[in-house]
Amino acid sequence: MPIQDTQEFINELEKHGELKRVETEVDPDLEIAEILRREMYSNGPAILFENVKGHSMPVLGNAFGSMKRLEIGLEMTDFTEIGHRITDMTKMDMPSGFLNKIKKLPELSKMTASFPKPESSGLVTEVTSTDASFDDLPIIKSWPNDAGRFITLGLIATKHPETGVRNLGVYRMQIIDKTHASMHWQKHKRGANHGEISKDKGEKIPTAIIFGGEPATVFSSIAPVPEGLDKYLFAGITRKEGIKTVKCKTIDLDVPANAEIVLEGYVDPADIRDEGPFGDHTGYYTPVEPYPTFTLTGIMRRKNPVYLTTVVGKPILEDAYIGKVIERSFLPLIQMFHPEVVDFSMPAAGWFQGFAVISIKKRYPGQAKKVMMGLWGTGQLTLTKMFVVVDEDINVHDMNDVIWAITTRADAARDTTIINNTPTDTLDPASPLVNLGSKIGIDATQKTKEEGYMREIQQQVKVDEETKKLVDSKWSDYGL
DSSP SS3 for 211: strand
CA distance 86 to 306: 32
Query: Which helix (H) or strand (E) covers residue 101, if one does?
Result: helix 98-112
HSE-CB at 379 with a 13 A cutoff on CA atoms is 13
Residue 426, CA distances (Å) to 49, 111, 193, 274, 449 in order: 33, 36, 15, 15, 40
Q: How many CB atoms lie within 10 A of CB 378?
A: 17
Among the options 280, 343, 425, 443, which is catalytic? 280
- In 17-144 the beta strands, taken as DSSP E runs, fall at 19-22, 46-49, 59-61, 117-118, 127-129
Q: Is 415 exposed, middle or buried (0-12, 13-18, 19+ CB in 10 A)?
A: buried
The strand pairing partners of 387, in sequence order, are 356, 441
Say whether 280 is catalytic: yes
Sheet strand arrangement including 307-308: 19-22, 46-49, 59-61, 307-308
Q: Is 181 exposed, middle or buried (0-12, 13-18, 19+ CB in 10 A)?
A: buried
CA distance 149 to 139: 6
The strand pairing partners of 206, in sequence order, are 266
Preceding omega of 116 cis (within 30 degrees of 0): no
Query: Which helix (H) or strand (E) covers residue 9, if one does?
Result: helix 6-15
CA distance 2 to 239: 6
- CB burial string 440-461: b at 16+ within 10 A, e below: ebbbbbbbeeebebeeeeeeee
Point out the residues that are catalytic. 280
